[in-house]
């Protein structure tokens, strides 16, 4: 019998990735999130790319909708 991997409520997102999801949902730009979190803009882009992959979305809008529907930004 094969094992089926189930997704956790946070879809395997790290705390840093969840911080960026919150920023996207709040409408922050990469530059703003980089400054707030002490990252470079390129690091923000790299982390968001990983988040898109984990959440099976293609862009910020899809990520924001997905996050709201899945309650990824709840405390």
> For position 20, which CATH number holds?
1.10.10.10
Q: Are 63 and 21 in contact (CB under 8 A)?
A: yes
Cα 65 versus chain centre, distance: 11
For the chain, what percent of residues have pLDDT higher than 70? 84
CA distances from 23 to 39, 56, 71 (A): 13, 18, 14
In the chain, how many domains are there?
1
Domain around 33? 15-70
> Within a domain: residue 8?
no
> Within a domain: residue 47?
yes
Whole-model pTM: value is 0.83
> Within a domain: residue 5?
no
> Within a domain: residue 31?
yes
Digit-coded pLDDT (tens) for 39-73? 999 999 999 999 999 999 999 999 999 999 998 87
For the chain, what percent of residues have pLDDT higher than 90? 76
Task: Give yes or no for residue 7 having a pLDDT over 70.
Answer: no
């Amino acid at each position: 019998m094969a094992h089926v991997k189930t997704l956790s409520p946070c879809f395997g997102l790290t705390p840093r990735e969840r911080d960026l999801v919150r920023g996207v949902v709040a409408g922050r730009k990469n530059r703003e999130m980089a400054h707030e979190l002490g990252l470079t803009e390129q690091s923000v882009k790299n982390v968001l790319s990983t988040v898109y992959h984990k959440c099976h979305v293609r862009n910020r809008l899809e990520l924001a909708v997905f996050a709201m529907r899945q309650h990824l930004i709840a405390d």
